[in-house]
């Protein structure tokens, strides 16, 4: 049975991707600081993501996305970037746009996202 990654798991994977791109290496403490979560909460989440084969953790505590984890993280991150940009282009303040994008990115079907993406990209090329 295919297990669905929960919204919070998607947020963790997205954060790992962003931190890897920014810093090169990621540890649980980096995630806790970035997300403003407690170390125990992050530890539990990392255990769950390891069990779902989305991340690996080496003996020094460095976290790496697996192919499966990277695929999920990149999908969520693409949605986040697109929705944030789209909302800010309509005059929504950036902090509010980012918060709203975080909510929207998880609940939209792939079909709806692709349609919105085509629409947004089409609208930006018409200017």
In contact, 21 and 31? CB cutoff 8 Å:
no
Q: Percent helix, strand, coil in the chain (nearest 5)? A: 70, 5, 25
Q: What is the pTM of this model?
A: 0.85
Please check the confidence at residue 51 and state whether its pLDDT lies above 60.
Answer: yes
Beta bridge partners of 55: 65
The pLDDT of residue 1 is above 60? no
Instruction: Give the per-residue pLDDT at 28.
Output: 96
Q: Which pLDDT score is estimated for 120?
A: 85
> Per-residue pLDDT averaged across 73-95, rounded?
94
Helices (H), 24-93: 28-35, 39-51, 67-89
What is the predicted pLDDT for the residue at 125? 63
Task: Please state, in angstroms and rounded to a whole number, the distance separating the CA atoms of residues 12 and 96.
Answer: 20
Minimum mean pLDDT among 26-30, 112-116, 123-127: which range? Answer: 123-127
């Amino acid at each position: 049975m295919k297990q669905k990654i929960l919204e919070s798991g998607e947020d963790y994977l997205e954060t790992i991707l962003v931190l890897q791109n920014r810093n090169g290496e990621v540890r649980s403490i980096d995630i806790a600081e970035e997300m403003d979560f407690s170390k125990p909460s992050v530890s539990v989440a990392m255990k769950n993501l390891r069990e779902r084969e989305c991340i690996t953790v080496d003996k020094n505590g460095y976290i790496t996305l697996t192919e499966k984890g990277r695929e999920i993280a990149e999908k969520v991150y693409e949605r986040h970037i697109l929705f944030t940009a789209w909302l800010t282009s309509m005059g929504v303040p950036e902090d509010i746009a980012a918060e709203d994008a975080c909510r929207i990115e998880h609940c939209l079907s792939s079909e709806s996202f692709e349609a919105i993406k085509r629409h947004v990209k089409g609208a930006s090329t018409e200017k």
